[in-house]
């Protein structure tokens, strides 16, 4: 960190060392609209250095037993937990979310991610069968892609991967991890932890808008016992350093969480190298509320599922379908509860929502509301914050109120496109079949919620929804062992205990005739 009056200046973390960059970009505090930090504007050169470090660290790290790697991860989880308050304050300042949310969700979940994969890597088994007529033994092992696996079809030939030193098979490879700005440390650790637990060395690129907690985590890696070069973090923009990482021929695997247009670019850049891809993308998530729903639970949960983290969670509800018989009652109570959802400066303990990530994003979100109004929709509550209620230094912050739109057609862009802000649409429906068809009528398929006391109905509807995740009578309760991911344009692949392990390793079938 630079002197007290100077801006905080981040550095890349390569081969276990902080390395300055020759160019920087400004990072803004969303709650004031002022620059408060400088982030390295890395490019190809920094990616080359990180690949070299990851290559050198790979044989040693991948040859360690899962138990040894697990111990390192447990230590890292403890260190993150000890820094919880400091990390929560930093995450809130960098992202605009409330400190309360960062303290209760983001950082605890980052700790949980690391601890979860420290444990789960010890519990994977492989398949074995002797059922063929020749009586051979067939079994699977997980081996690195780097050895004789994914090779570039053009561009520079990668260096041959050195064989691991110990006897057991190392399930590792060099992984490129790209994460977004909405849940910075939460989503970064969701990738780093399973990747290194499985024996990979990694190069991570957090969002240029929210790089601070990743940089803070780097300071804990050595103490946790992560050897130099196992985790390299290179900061900068998507088009510059993100593309350099994706296009690098020695990085055969990319785990990406972000938007669908960026995913298209990543697919394009990865295609010549046949890279293994995991893509966790956006959503346009429906909540389906049947007339027998318990509204006392449903309303506060649906307000939360619509507006938590300023609506900047890929799993947030943005289309609420309510059975016509309870539509008016629901709407009245929902709007009333939304109006009580306080927008405030991130340190305000009573605030439920802080500032949006950037000026550009705030303008984009507002443009959707303008469009809805021009189409004849009604805005029941929301839009601008009364800036007089904010301290003087926060007058330029990117705040807006949680917004509820009604009388809107399913064809409207507000009902089709991901807004990724505190905006939700409420519309009536008549029948089960109709609402399933309407819920499925968008290009996304990430998460859905269904509210009903009829057990048969929730099973039936959940099964028919085109959605990677369906929550019934709840939202955002996660079991990390089970698959997480989206259908259709919401992504390719799944993450979670076994799924992450399978993604970060390559399976091989071996047949022994005896």
The residues that are catalytic are: 280, 314
Q: How many other β-carbons are positioned within 10 Å of the β-carbon of residue 330?
A: 23
Q: Which residues, at least 6 apart from 62, have a Cβ–Cβ distance to it below 8 Å?
A: 144, 164, 170, 171, 172, 199, 200, 201
**Residue 259 touches ligand NAD, criterion: CB under 6 A:** yes
Q: For residue 512, how far is the Cα from the chain centroid?
A: 41
CA–CA distance, 45 with 155 (Å, rounded to integer)? 16
Query: Which parts of 435-454 interact with ligand NAD (CB under 6 A)?
Result: 446
Residues paired with residue 488 on neighbouring β-strands, in sequence order: 444
Question: Quick one: which of 38, 205, 276, 494 contacts ligand NAD (CB under 6 A)?
Answer: 205
Q: Are 185 and 91 a contacting pair, CB within 8 Å? A: yes
Residue 242 dihedral angles phi and psi, to the nearest 5°: -60, -45
- Show the site string, 408-437: x = touches ligand NAD by CB under 6 A, - = not: ----------x-x-----------------
Q: For residue 152, how far is the Cα from the chain centroid?
A: 28
Q: For residue 502, how far is the Cα from the chain centroid?
A: 18
Query: Which parts of 103-132 interact with ligand NAD (CB under 6 A)?
Result: none
**Residue 40 touches ligand NAD, criterion: CB under 6 A:** no
Question: Quick one: which of 182, 211, 309, 500 contacts ligand NAD (CB under 6 A)?
Answer: 182
- Which span sits near ligand NAD by CB under 6 A: 3-11, 98-106, 179-187, 395-403? 179-187
**Residue 243 touches ligand NAD, criterion: CB under 6 A:** yes
Cα torsion 268, 274, 276, 278 to 10°: value is: 20
Query: Which parts of 9-38 interact with ligand NAD (CB under 6 A)?
Result: none
CA–CA distance, 184 with 177 (Å, rounded to integer)? 12
**Residue 493 touches ligand NAD, criterion: CB under 6 A:** no
Question: Quick one: which of 280, 499, 502, 506 contacts ligand NAD (CB under 6 A)?
Answer: 280
**Residue 94 touches ligand NAD, criterion: CB under 6 A:** no
Please say which residue, 155 or 376, places its beta carbon nearer to ligand NAD: 155
CA–CA distance, 27 with 8 (Å, rounded to integer)? 10
Please say which residue, 144 or 311, places its beta carbon nearer to ligand NAD: 311
Residue 323 dihedral angles phi and psi, to the nearest 5°: -60, 135
Q: How many other β-carbons are positioned within 10 Å of the β-carbon of residue 1?
A: 11
- Residue 266 tokens, joined: 């990543």
Compute the least distance from the CB of residue 89 to ligand NAD, in Å.
Answer: 22
- Which span sits near ligand NAD by CB under 6 A: 165-173, 255-263, 362-370, 405-413? 255-263
DSSP assigned state of 32: T
Question: Quick one: which of 95, 100, 112, 207 contacts ligand NAD (CB under 6 A)?
Answer: 207
Residues paired with residue 288 on neighbouring β-strands, in sequence order: 321, 450
CA–CA distance, 51 with 231 (Å, rounded to integer)? 11
DSSP assigned state of 169: P
**Residue 306 touches ligand NAD, criterion: CB under 6 A:** no
Beta strands in 260-412 (DSSP E): 276-280, 285-289, 317-323, 378-383, 401-406
**Residue 43 touches ligand NAD, criterion: CB under 6 A:** no
**Residue 181 touches ligand NAD, criterion: CB under 6 A:** yes
**Residue 466 touches ligand NAD, criterion: CB under 6 A:** no
Please say which residue, 244 or 458, places its beta carbon nearer to ligand NAD: 244
- Which span sits near ligand NAD by CB under 6 A: 5-13, 91-99, 175-183, 388-396? 175-183
**Residue 146 touches ligand NAD, criterion: CB under 6 A:** no
Question: Quick one: which of 282, 286, 397, 402 contacts ligand NAD (CB under 6 A)?
Answer: 282
Q: Which residues bind ligand NAD (CB under 6 A)?
A: 178-182, 187, 205, 207-208, 237-239, 242-243, 246, 257-259, 262, 265-266, 280-283, 314, 418, 420, 446, 486, 491
């Amino acid at each position: 960190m630079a002197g007290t009056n100077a801006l905080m200046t981040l550095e890349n973390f390569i081969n276990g060392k902080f390395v300055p960059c020759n160019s920087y970009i400004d990072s803004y505090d969303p709650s004031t609209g002022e620059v408060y930090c400088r982030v390295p504007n890395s490019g190809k050169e920094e990616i080359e250095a990180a690949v070299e470090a990851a290559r050198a660290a790979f044989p040693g790290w991948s040859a360690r037993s899962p138990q040894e790697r697990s111990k390192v991860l447990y230590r890292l989880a403890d260190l993150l937990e000890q820094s919880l308050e400091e990390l929560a304050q930093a995450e809130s300042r960098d992202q605009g979310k409330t400190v309360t949310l960062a303290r209760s969700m983001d950082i605890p979940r980052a700790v949980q991610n690391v601890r979860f994969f420290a444990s789960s890597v010890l519990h994977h088994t492989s398949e074995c069968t002797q059922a063929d007529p020749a009586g051979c033994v067939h079994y699977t092992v997980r081996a690195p892609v780097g050895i004789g696996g994914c090779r570039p079809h053009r561009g520079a030939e990668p260096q041959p991967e050195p064989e691991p030193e110990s006897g057991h098979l190392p399930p590792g490879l060099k992984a490129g991890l790209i994460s977004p700005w909405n849940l910075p440390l939460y989503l970064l650790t969701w990738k780093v932890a399973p990747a290194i637990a499985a024996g990979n060395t990694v190069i991570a690129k957090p969002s240029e808008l929210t790089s601070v907690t990743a940089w803070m985590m780097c300071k804990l890696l050595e103490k946790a016992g992560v050897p130099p070069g196992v985790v390299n973090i290179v900061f900068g923009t998507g088009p510059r350093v993100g593309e350099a990482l994706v296009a690098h021929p020695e990085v055969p695997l990319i785990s990406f969480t972000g938007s669908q247009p960026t995913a298209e670019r990543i697919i394009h850049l990865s295609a010549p190298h046949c890279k293994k891809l995991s893509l966790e993308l956006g959503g346009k998530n429906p909540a389906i509320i049947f007339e027998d729903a318990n509204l006392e639970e449903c309303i506060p949960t649906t307000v939360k599922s619509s507006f938590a983290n300023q609506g900047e969670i890929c799993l947030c509800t943005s289309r609420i379908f309510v059975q016509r018989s309870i539509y008016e009652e629901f709407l009245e109570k929902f709007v009333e509860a939304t109006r009580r959802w306080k927008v405030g400066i991130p340190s305000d303990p009573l605030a439920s929502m802080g500032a949006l990530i950037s000026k550009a994003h705030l303008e984009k979100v507002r443009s959707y509301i303008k469009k809805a109004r021009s189409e004849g929709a009604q805005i029941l509550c929301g839009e601008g914050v009364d800036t007089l209620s904010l301290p003087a230094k926060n007058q330029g912050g990117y705040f807006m109120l949680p917004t509820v739109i009604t009388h809107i057609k399913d064809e409207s862009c507000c009902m089709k496109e991901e807004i990724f802000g505190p905006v939700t649409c409420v519309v009536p429906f008549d029948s089960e079949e109709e609402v399933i068809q309407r819920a499925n009528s968008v290009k996304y398929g990430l998460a859905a919620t269904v509210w009903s006391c009829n057990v048969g109905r929730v099973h039936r509807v959940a099964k028919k929804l085109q959605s990677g995740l369906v929550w019934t009578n709840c939202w955002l309760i996660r079991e990390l062992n089970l698959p997480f991911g989206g259908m259709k344009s919401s992504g390719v692949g799944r993450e979670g205990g076994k799924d992450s392990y399978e993604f970060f390793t390559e399976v091989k079938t071996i047949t022994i005739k005896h």
